[in-house]
Chains A and B, each alone.
Chain A
Amino acid sequence: MSEAAKARSEGEVFASLSGVSKFYGSYAALKDVSLTLRRGEVHMLLGENGAGKSTLVSLLTGANRPDEGEVTLLGRRVEGLTPAYAREAGVNAVLQDFALAPTMTVAENYALGREETWGGLLSTRTMREQAVAAMAAIGVALDPDLRVDRLSRAEQQLLEIVRALGGKPGALILDEPTATLSHDESERLFAAVLKLRAEGWAILYISHRMEEIRRLGDVVTILRDGRLTGHHRLSEVTNEKMVAEMVGRDMGHFYPDIMPRPGNVAFETRALKAGGRLKDASLNARYGEIVGIGGLVGCGKAEVARAAFGLVPVDGGSVWLDGAEVTGVGPRAMLARGFIYLPQDRRGEALALNRSIAENITMEVIGRSGGLGLLAYSKLSSIVSDLVRRLNISPAQPDKQVQELSGGNQQKVVLGRALSLPRKVYVFDEPTSGIDVAARRDFYDQLSALVANGAAILLISSDLQELVHLSHRVYVMQEGVCVAHLQGEAITEDAVVSHAFGAAA
């Protein structure tokens, strides 16, 4: 782009919302919010779950229309914006709900809706080449002929981003894009975002991570309860102020200091090998401490827990609980012995979405009462209401379907099931991915209480800061092998990253 063109496009308004409100019944999802997306600018959008971020995005993509206020695209006021119109104008969005066709290949998905044809026939080769080229442009190397349902969640996310970039240039909306990405993949995404900014794209970026917000953002808009609570240039605002505007109160020090009280070894794996991806992991966790497992996506860190719990068949090695071998006994037996694994994929693996909060929380409790299996409703509901209060689940309506809750509250329901019975070992797999700051803080407080009660915690996380600040010991995995064991002062972000990449000797 020439200097003149760049100067012209920089700062030019691509899209704006002015004074928009969106009501659902008497509930205001958004109230009088204004936002301006400019070309060549990365606009961060910050807010807790339920603050109205997704609703705001839906007004820009045409999925919803505002009840009050105006939407302006390319300088023109648009009434009744449709998704097709928005796409035509250059609004490209990567949302959290995946929009890929699982049974089609990477290349087919890339071309979906904009297939190249030659005389009415699909030009498969052209589309395949385009897909490969588009992926290469941001350093993604997926097999174009692989079916999408064979990809990991992170890889699907990357494909969605690549797909969005292949649309008509204009604006790119990213809703927590790094939630499922590894460090390495996130870095590539950041590079791509900065490149697009330089090319004059307008970027709206939703994130909970301060590090990203600082690194990428030019301006930031903060929402709370559907209202605009702050708008700043990032160079002129402190983290504390942003967090305060987001949660409406001072958060204090973000990561709690959790004192370890190490006891006996609770859980141990010896040369564990499973599911093709996990090749050799020997690690242990003692009572009264948090043990972190770090590494890149696909390094096998989740498989350690999944194999131990029995979701992935064990191919070699052994798993020990309280000094007894429990290799391959399966989830039911592991739960009965006090070992619980909370999967990363909440919606896919941890929750029955169309069932209620109460049913999800008491799923295990009901199996522990003897007799005919008649449900003791009064006892169950007191367990549920106690957990709903303790975990601050909102809305505090036990009969509510879980699918109607925000991500953070869904996570709390999963945690509610974990806390519904006493356990010895808790394994959290990416527990804070996609949840907001306040919910995170609540979760850390629960962790702290569990450790104080003497539980052993395994924390599998791609969030380096979280891993480093909370763990008392950290194991680092690389390509299926547990390559490092960090303790005390040695636990740093740099150390985790260099071991994860295999850079450290």
Chain B
Amino acid sequence: MSFSRSEAGHKTSMAGGLRARLLRFGALPVVLVICIVVFQMGNPRFLSSANTINMMQQGVFLMLIAFGQMLVLLSGGFDLSVGAVVALTSIVSAQAMVAVSNAYPDSQWLPIAAGFGAMLATGVVAGLINGFGVAVLKVNAFIVTLATASIFKGVTLVISQGLQVSGLPRDFVYGIGSGRFLGVPMSVWLALPVLVLIYLLVHHMRFGRYIYAIGANVRSAVVAGVDIRFYLIASYVLCATVTAFSGWLLTARVSSGEPLLGGEFPLNSIAAAVIGGCSLRGGEGRVFGVFLGVIFITVLANGMDLLRIGSNYQMIVLGIVLVGAVVLDRYRSGSGSGSGSARR
């Protein structure tokens, strides 16, 4: 008798824990598993090691950008300029690499270092401009980054004259772009420390607490003595820099500087973050959720490719999924506050 009772109690607490975890990440893990099962049934090659590595290669760029986007979303903003930053980085870093390798034809690593430096500078400057607009001029992030997206795009086209930049260093294209280590693409290895750093920043460092606080209620953060301006600018700088890094890796992948690279990233990165549980009102979301969100979008795109669903249809599906995720998010937060008001 007593045995069965404790058994039942254990079960309900386990169910409660599961429910809490589901509420935390929404229905995403479940939907993700369903997608994987469906795609696997549709095409047995889906979960093959070749395709899995392929998905890692495809997803790593979005993963970096979505992590950056998350920082800005947590602080209560947006960054619509991530696509333009990718293109700008691609051109600037490619031109730097080509220029340095023309000057020092014997060195393979010097041009790559120059490209890396140009990438960092592009990201930091772009982020400072966005952060300045949001934190100092106090213009809505939507407008600021929409405007800077246009500016960065214009600058990209002016300095590239709309042309590709080719002649990148061999080691850049074949080492970073398509190289592998232990079977895993080089760009994934390079992205990994950045992703870990962002995880630490968000969940284990003061920085994360402060951007959550700013996003949740900027006035209460002021009253608690948080340096709003510094942390807002820092989140935009980090977002743009991570985005630039992603753009640099993507440039290696496509083996040339491309002025039209990355147009899909603003939508996809926000979609991944929101699907992963970030609130558009700020102050809510977790790294693991965004991680799952990016995997979901990558799996969806890759799986539909394998099922020979055209990219035009994929755009339609992504749009529907995004709206669905936002509605789910509202249901989730609605149920949370509902139980709260019940207790009052």
**Are A and B interaction partners?**
yes
Q: With A and B bound together, what is the CA distance between A353 and B220 in angstroms?
A: 9
A417 close to B343 (CB less than 8 A): no
Cross-interface CB contact of B225 among A335, A351, A352, cutoff 8 Å:
A335
Interface string of B219-230 (1 = CB under 8 A from A): 111111111000
Cross-interface CB contact of A367 among B226, B279, B336, cutoff 8 Å:
B226
Flag whether A195 is at the interface (Cβ < 8 A): no
With a cutoff of 8 Å between Cβ atoms, the chain B residues found around residue A364 in the complex are: 224-225
A407 close to B344 (CB less than 8 A): yes
User: Which one of B2-10, B209-217, B246-254 is at the interface?
Assistant: B209-217
With a cutoff of 8 Å between Cβ atoms, the chain A residues found around residue B217 in the complex are: 348-349, 351-353
A352 close to B205 (CB less than 8 A): no
B206 close to A355 (CB less than 8 A): no
Q: With A and B bound together, what is the CA distance between A363 and B219 in angstroms?
A: 13
A331 close to B340 (CB less than 8 A): no
Flag whether A341 is at the interface (Cβ < 8 A): yes
A349 close to B220 (CB less than 8 A): yes
Interface string of A169-187 (1 = CB under 8 A from B): 0000000000000000000
Q: With A and B bound together, what is the CA distance between A86 and B227 in angstroms?
A: 48
With a cutoff of 8 Å between Cβ atoms, the chain A residues found around residue B212 in the complex are: 352, 355, 359
Flag whether A50 is at the interface (Cβ < 8 A): yes
Taking residues whose C-beta sits less than 8 angstroms from the other chain, chain A's interface range is: 35 or more
CB contact list, B323-344 vs A, under 8 A: 333, 336-337, 339-344
B216 close to A49 (CB less than 8 A): no
With a cutoff of 8 Å between Cβ atoms, the chain A residues found around residue B341 in the complex are: 54
Q: With A and B bound together, what is the CA distance between A353 and B215 in angstroms?
A: 11
B224 close to A417 (CB less than 8 A): yes
Which of A332, A342, A348, A355 has the largest number of chain B CB atoms within 10 A?
A: A355
A311 close to B223 (CB less than 8 A): yes
Cross-interface CB contact of A363 among B209, B279, B283, B337, cutoff 8 Å:
B209
Q: With A and B bound together, what is the CA distance between A349 and B344 in angstroms?
A: 20
Flag whether B204 is at the interface (Cβ < 8 A): yes
Known: A50-B344, A54-B341, A54-B344. A359 touches B209 (CB 8 A): yes
User: Which one of A262-270, A284-292, A370-378 is at the interface?
Assistant: A370-378
Q: With A and B bound together, what is the CA distance between A22 and B340 in angstroms?
A: 14
B344 close to A331 (CB less than 8 A): no
A24 close to B344 (CB less than 8 A): no
A352 close to B213 (CB less than 8 A): yes
Give B205's nearest chain A residue, CB to CB: A373
- With an 8 Å Cβ cutoff, the count of chain B residues facing the other chain is 31
Flag whether A404 is at the interface (Cβ < 8 A): yes
Flag whether B207 is at the interface (Cβ < 8 A): yes
With a cutoff of 8 Å between Cβ atoms, the chain A residues found around residue B204 in the complex are: 374-375, 377
CB contact list, A355-410 vs B, under 8 A: 355, 359, 362-364, 366-367, 369, 372-375, 377, 401, 403-407
Main secondary structure of the interface of B (DSSP, over half): helix
A401 close to B336 (CB less than 8 A): yes
CB contact list, A404-444 vs B, under 8 A: 404-407, 417
Flag whether A336 is at the interface (Cβ < 8 A): yes
Known: A24-B343, A354-B283, A404-B340. A373 touches B222 (CB 8 A): no
Q: With A and B bound together, what is the CA distance between A331 and B205 in angstroms?
A: 22
With a cutoff of 8 Å between Cβ atoms, the chain B residues found around residue A355 in the complex are: 212-213, 216, 283
Give B281's nearest chain A residue, CB to CB: A354
A375 close to B205 (CB less than 8 A): yes
Q: With A and B bound together, what is the CA distance between A335 and B227 in angstroms?
A: 12
Flag whether B284 is at the interface (Cβ < 8 A): yes
Flag whether A29 is at the interface (Cβ < 8 A): yes
The smallest C-beta distance from B225 to any residue of chain A, in angstroms, reads 4
Known: A54-B344, A349-B219, A351-B220. A332 touches B227 (CB 8 A): yes
Contact sample, A vs B, 7 pairs, CB 8 Å cutoff: A27-B343, A55-B342, A351-B220, A352-B213, A359-B213, A363-B224, A367-B225
- Using a CB–CB cutoff of 8 Å, the interface residues on chain B facing chain A are 200, 204-207, 209, 212-213, 216-217, 219-227, 279, 283-284, 333, 336-337, 339-344
- Using a CB–CB cutoff of 8 Å, the interface residues on chain A facing chain B are 22, 24, 27, 29, 49-50, 54-55, 309, 311, 331-332, 334-336, 341-343, 348-355, 359, 362-364, 366-367, 369, 372-375, 377, 401, 403-407, 417
What 7 A-B pairs have minimum CB-CB distances, sorted nearest first? A373-B206, A352-B216, A404-B340, A335-B225, A24-B342, A363-B224, A332-B225
Q: A362-B209, A372-B205, A403-B337 are in contact. List 10 more A-B contacts (CB 8 A).
A: A331-B222, A332-B227, A335-B225, A343-B223, A349-B223, A352-B212, A355-B212, A363-B226, A373-B205, A406-B343
